[in-house]
Amino acid sequence: MSAPAVVIAAPASGSGKTTLATGLIGALRRAGHRVAPFKVGPDYIDPGYHGLAAGRPGRNLDPVLVGEDRVVPLYRHGAQDCDIAIVEGVMGLFDGRIDENRSDAIAEGSTAQVAGLLGAPVVLVVDARGHSQSLAALLHGFATYDSSVRLGGVILNRVGSERHEQVLRAACDRVGLPVLGALPRMAELEVPSRHLGLIPAVEHGSAATAAVDAMTELVAAHVDLRAIVALAGGSVLGDAWDPHVELATAAEHATGGTSFEGLSAAEFPAGVVSRRDPLIAMAGGPAFTFGYAEHRELLAAAGARVVVFDPLCDELPVSTAGLVLPGGFPEEHAGQLSANERLRTAVAAGASKGLPIHAECAGLLYLTRSLDGHQMAGVIDADAEFGPRLTLGYRDAVALHDSALWRAGSRVRGHEFHRTRLVRAGASNPAWGWRATDSVAEGAVVRQVHASYLHTHPAGNPDAIARFVTAARRFDH
């Protein structure tokens, strides 16, 4: 039996979903519940606040990046030992990947799609500013747009006065939707943001904890927690996601069950495939905050020992056989990253010797010659700088060259989310190709280094994780 869920959605971005979801997670936990926190889509920042509130990792549910068939298993995996799950949606309820070739009412990757896959009720968070009796028409539209989405209630956010709340409650009654809470305008709860959204909880430190506590207090005081718990539901069946099973399945699909890059399918579940388990160093700390919990779980299941280190101040861990440099905000910490010369030198030396390196976005920037004028590791023949515009969106990409993670010709779905760009780039083997308005060749493959702006979800690409750990086993210190 899996934990029941409530999906927190909104008519549009900026309605207050993160405040409500984070506060609800914290308030339910304070009331004695074991809460599983989830975020729809590729967002890395909101799960950090969810994790603070829940006391367990925030996880993502993204049908685009992992495949529709993995959403329920990943949900069951993340909700183990919990009695309720809170799933924060993305953008507006029906917003998802824009695909002119898809005519479905429910967009791929949308909150509505995930709610349908889980069979969970939706609570619509409405920014009450500017709304009066016409709120009834808006709610009627959302409640009747698609019968597969079950709207279970409304939470009114940023309510201006008692009279305002009365008018809004009457509008909700008119369309038969219960009001599960009404929150007053609280400007002091605004969490600082920058060009890619909220400042990650790891960077925001004690202020993030204080913000989560304030959200918890606000929701506990103004939302009917008993009604939320009573509303929670779901219809998920089947097995929970298991990293060992994923790796074994990837091996069987790739080789018919014989061998996969030196690993047999039978050996994957045990995670013991040689006389030593390679040490994979994974960058963390304030500059490298973007990642998925399933990444470490898959690396460990493939037999690796994962050590997290902070490139702002730490050296490369002894006996590192593979290096993971995930996304984040290196542009905000370029001076400190540059000042850690011992690490930069060690990474460059390792790359020259064939150290397998998996670098995404922030990791790509760290491997360039310079970032906004600050010296970086110099593994990639390019400089990086803060750019004039934000680049974001899902990509259907193909690997253009063999690497420590993908064979040439492998197809993946990824997501771009950055406001930096590479300049003065020399010739190199590009990592990915895709077609947008024009053909795009992006990233770099250098020896055993795979560096790119493209974020991928490891749960959607277990074969790449297996290849990477195999490459780490073969690395000669």
pLDDT at 301: 97
The model's pLDDT over 331-384, given as tens digits with 9 standing for 90+, comes to: 889 999 999 999 999 999 999 999 999 999 999 999 999 999 999 999 999 999
Contacts of 464 (CB under 8 A, 6+ apart): 405, 406, 410, 412, 456, 458
Could you tell me the strand order of the sheet in which 35-40 lies?
59-61, 35-40, 84-88, 5-9, 122-127, 151-159, 179-184
Q: Which residue out of 82, 172, 313, 361 is catalytically annotated?
A: 361
Q: Is residue 361 among the annotated active site residues? A: yes
Percent of the chain with pLDDT over 70: 91
In angstroms, the CA 134 to CA 413 distance is 40
Average pLDDT over residues 410-429: 90
Output the six-digit token pair for 229. Answer: 């718990």
Q: Which residue has the higher pLDDT, 171 or 392?
A: 171
Q: In whole numbers, what is the pLDDT of the chain averaged over residues? A: 90
pLDDT at 237: 87
Average pLDDT over residues 139-145: 97
The model's pLDDT over 264-299, given as tens digits with 9 standing for 90+, comes to: 333 333 343 443 799 999 999 999 999 999 999 999
pLDDT at 102: 73
Mean pLDDT lowest among 78-82, 177-181, 192-196, 323-327 = 192-196
The model's pLDDT over 94-103, given as tens digits with 9 standing for 90+, comes to: 999 987 777 7
pLDDT at 199: 62
For every residue of 273-308, which 3-state class applies, written as one string?
Answer: CCCCCCEEEEECCCCCCECCHHHHHHHHHCCCEEEE
CB 336, CB 312: distance < 8 Å: yes
For every residue of the chain, which 3-state class applies, written as one string?
Answer: CCCCEEEEECCCCCCCHHHHHHHHHHHHHHCCCCEEEEEECCCCCHHHHHHHHHCCCCEEECHHHHCHHHHHHHHHHHCCCCCEEEEECCCCCCCCCCCCCCCCCCCCCCHHHHHHHHCCCEEEEEECCCCCCCHHHHHHHHHHCCCCCCEEEEEEEEECCHHHHHHHHHHHHHCCCCEEEEEECCHHHCCCEECCEECCHHHHHHHHHHHHHHHHHHHHHHECHHHHHHHCECCCCCCCCCHHHHHHHHHHHHHCCCCECCECHHHCCCCCCCCCCCEEEEECCCCCCECCHHHHHHHHHCCCEEEEECCCCCCCCCCEEEEEECECCHHHCHHHHHHCHHHHHHHHHHHHCCCCEEEECHHHHHHCCEECCEECCCCCCCEEEEEEEEEEEEEEEEECCCCCCCCCCCEEEEEEEEEEEEECCCCCECCEEEECCCEEEECEEECCEEEECCECCHHHCHHHHHHHHHHHHHCCC
The model's pLDDT over 195-223, given as tens digits with 9 standing for 90+, comes to: 444 567 666 578 888 889 999 999 999 99
Q: Which residue has the higher pLDDT, 234 or 84?
A: 84
Closest CA to 454 of 378, 354, 363: 363
Average pLDDT over residues 41-47: 91
In angstroms, the CA 388 to CA 263 distance is 45
pLDDT at 272: 37
Percent of the chain with pLDDT over 90: 79
The model's pLDDT over 245-265, given as tens digits with 9 standing for 90+, comes to: 999 998 877 654 434 444 433
The model's pLDDT over 433-454, given as tens digits with 9 standing for 90+, comes to: 998 777 889 999 999 999 999 9
Task: Kindly indicate the confidence band of residue 192, based on its pLDDT and cuts at 50, 70 and 90.
Answer: low
For every residue of 299-342, which 3-state class applies, written as one string?
Answer: HHHCCCEEEEECCCCCCCCCCEEEEEECECCHHHCHHHHHHCHH
Task: Kindly indicate the confidence band of residue 21, based on its pLDDT and cuts at 50, 70 and 90.
Answer: very high
Contacts of 20 (CB under 8 A, 6+ apart): 8, 125, 155, 157, 183, 219, 223
pLDDT at 198: 56
Place of tokens 């929150």: 183
Q: Decide if pLDDT at 164 tops 90.
A: yes
Q: Decide if pLDDT at 44 tops 90.
A: no
Closest CA to 14 of 114, 127, 123, 94: 127
In angstroms, the CA 172 to CA 140 distance is 9
Closest CA to 35 of 18, 53, 17, 20: 53
pLDDT at 274: 47
Q: Decide if pLDDT at 191 tops 80.
A: no
pLDDT at 273: 41
pLDDT at 98: 83
